């Protein structure tokens, strides 16, 4: 299947700082990527849809000024958690849709964010 990578795989930061997470489609182009968040013992929650060259679409209840998404190329989307607080500590997972594989969605390995 198609490969999606995330960087970093884990990050620890101080409260009030901003953290950027990268999501890359390694062997295909992705006009659409998705960002999910997962708290311990819970399911994945879709945060936003990232569209190449246009603004992201956020799910209800997700603060767009808090979670900045940029999809500047067909292989890269970034999620920036601004002014992070301990309650933002979570597992962030991206996925990318592959047009050449009937728009099937492939997931990255996730990024563990811990805010102290």
Partner 1 sequence: DAKTTQPTSMDCAEGRAANLPCNHSTISGNEYVYWYRQIHSQGPQYIIHGLKNNETNEMASLIITEDRKSSTLILPHATLRDTAVYYCIVRARTNNQGGKLIFGQGTELSVKP
| The one among 7, 11, 22, 49 contacting partner 1 by CB under 8 A | 49
Alpha-carbon gap, residue 39 to 77, rounded angstroms: 22
Q: What are φ and ψ of residue 87, in 5° steps? A: -70, -10
The answer to whether 106 contacts partner 1 (rule: CB under 8 A) is yes
The answer to whether 114 contacts partner 1 (rule: CB under 8 A) is no
The answer to whether 103 contacts partner 1 (rule: CB under 8 A) is yes
| The one among 7, 11, 68, 91 contacting partner 1 by CB under 8 A | 91
Q: What residues does 70 pair with on adjacent strands?
A: 78
Q: Of 24, 37, 44, 26, whose CA–CA distance to 81 is shortest? A: 37
The conformation of residue 22, written as its DSSP 8-state character, comes to E
The answer to whether 105 contacts partner 1 (rule: CB under 8 A) is yes
The answer to whether 27 contacts partner 1 (rule: CB under 8 A) is no
Alpha-carbon gap, residue 25 to 32, rounded angstroms: 10
The answer to whether 89 contacts partner 1 (rule: CB under 8 A) is no
Binding site for partner 1 (CB under 8 A): 1, 4, 6, 32, 34, 36, 43-46, 49, 51, 91, 93, 95, 102-110, 112
């Amino acid at each position: 299947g198609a490969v999606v990578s995330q960087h970093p795989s884990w990050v620890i930061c101080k409260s009030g700082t901003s953290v950027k997470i990268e999501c890359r489609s390694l062997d295909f182009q992705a006009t659409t990527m998705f960002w999910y968040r997962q708290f311990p013992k819970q399911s994945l929650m879709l945060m936003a849809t990232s569209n190449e060259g246009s603004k992201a679409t956020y799910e209800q209840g997700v603060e767009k000024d808090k979670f900045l998404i940029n999809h500047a190329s067909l292989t890269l989307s970034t999620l920036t958690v601004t002014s992070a607080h301990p309650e933002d500590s979570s597992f962030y997972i991206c996925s990318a849709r592959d047009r050449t594989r009937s728009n099937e969605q492939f997931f990255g390995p996730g990024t563990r964010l811990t805010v102290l």
